[in-house]
A and B are shown apart, each in its own frame.
Chain A
Amino acid sequence: MSDTTESAIERSTRDFAATLLEDPAVIEYRSAEAALEGDPEFVRLSESYNGLAQQLQQKQADGSLTQEHINELRALQTQINSHAAAQRFIAARERNAALIHDCNHEISSILGFDFGAVAGPRGGCSC
């Protein structure tokens, strides 16, 4: 009984994943994510942003944070948001999330509880 159930869940997980991986929204999302992570300019911008954000947290804690620092961080954020690879990734993520929401709705209606809410990483969101 247990073995049969285990293979049923393994099989259906594999089939479901394989079906999703053929969908244009999923293909584009994976491609856009790989392009983003492999874009040296975007990686450099992200690292600069994260480094500066960390520095500014310390400055905020010791009271030396100025408007100039905040403007510098905002300028980096604007560069990141307007980066072509980031814009492609954001659009692809939205399309993929819409598909995943639909699938989760289908799954949850059968289970009687929200699969995504229970099965996801504990605490926090995915942003």
Chain B
Amino acid sequence: MSNDSAIADRTHIKSAARSFAAAIAETAAVREYSAAVDAVRADDNALQLLQQLQQLRQTLQMNAGWDNSDSPERQRLEELEAEVAQHPVLQRFFASQKTMIDELHSINDRLRQRLGFDFASLARPACNCG
């Protein structure tokens, strides 16, 4: 095979990859997730709750070395998690996120069945195992 034909083949592959991505973006799961993200961005209360939850989780992770099961931070985390679970905009966000991830796994599974190898696993940056 010449270099020219190899370049042409890759252009063809990239075009197929773009069509594949466009079709993924049009699935109901990805569209719903995008809409749910927009809804969160438009809701100050939802954003504030998410930020507080993230900050508190980081704080607790940094203090993970000692037992903090009775700490005020741990209690506040439980309260925040309960608030997030009750918030309709955030409920929609987390539900749509889960559905989208399931859908992407399913698409990758179908790709794996055709290719004979796992596309997503090979696409991940190399790790330092072994």
Contact = CB atoms under 8 A, between A and B. Distances in A.
Given A29-B117, A107-B20, A115-B24, A23 B123 contact: no
Contacts, number: 145
- Of listed A24, A33, A102, A106, residue having the most chain B CB within 10 A: A106
A17 interface: yes
A2 B13 contact: no
Contacts of A91: none
Report, as a range, how many residues of chain B touch the other chain.
35 or more
Report, as a range, how many residues of chain A touch the other chain.
35 or more
Interface stretch (A8-16, A40-48, A54-62, A65-73): A8-16
A75 interface: no
Contacts of B124: 116-117, 120, 125-126
A126 B118 contact: yes
7 contacts: A16-B16, A23-B13, A99-B10, A103-B13, A106-B17, A115-B104, A116-B119
B63 to A, nearest CB: 24
